[in-house]
Amino acid sequence: MEKNLITLISREFKETIETIVAQILIKSKVPANSDLIKTIELKDNSRTYSLYIWVNSYYEHLINGRKVGVKKVPIHALVRWLKKYNIKSNRIKDINQLAFAIQKAIFKNGIRGRNFISKVNDSVTDFVELKVSEEFETLVADSMVKALTFNGKFISSD
């Protein structure tokens, strides 16, 4: 039975990559308790030997922002967001009216994107390269010792 990449990679390795991504998002002003950070997950494709970082679908909107006048944010999503973060207005008391006002403002003004994808790619790539090179060095060293050992004794040229 062929194992996939995730089963071959240690749990610690996987969690470290997920933590790296979460830290970058937090530094980019994404709330630590957001659904985006809670949904970070490392998945693999064993046919292409690739790793993928999966996150909540609104990740795309955080990266790219929302263009002015293109598409309205769904009211139900805004109401859920307002309730989750207990956001209230002194002027608008009804939560649906507040969500509508926010929707209108986003449609009129757009939202500036937070392009942190390159930071995620660079940081994860650096970490993976370091870990792979460490594992490769260990593998090569162990193989050399094994190749130069016969019946428990190290073979030398002396």
Q: Mean of the pLDDT values across residues 91-109?
A: 95
The dihedral through the CA atoms of 88, 91, 96, 97 has a sign that is negative
Q: What is the pLDDT of residue 1?
A: 42
Please give the Cα distance from 5 to 95 (Å, whole number): 46
Task: Name the helix (H) or strand (E) containing 117.
Answer: helix 117-147
Q: pTM, whole model, 2 decimals?
A: 0.61
Q: What is the pLDDT of residue 152?
A: 65
Residue 99 has pLDDT above 90, yes or no: yes
**Which tokens belong to 123?**
């940081």
* pLDDT tens track for 35-68: 888 888 887 666 666 677 777 777 777 788 889 9
Q: Give one DSSP letter per residue of 2-67, joined into a string.
A: PPPHHHHS-HHHHHHHHHHHHHHHHHTT--TTSHHHHT-EEEEETTTTEEEEE--TTHHHHHH-B-
Please give the Cα distance from 45 to 2 (Å, whole number): 12
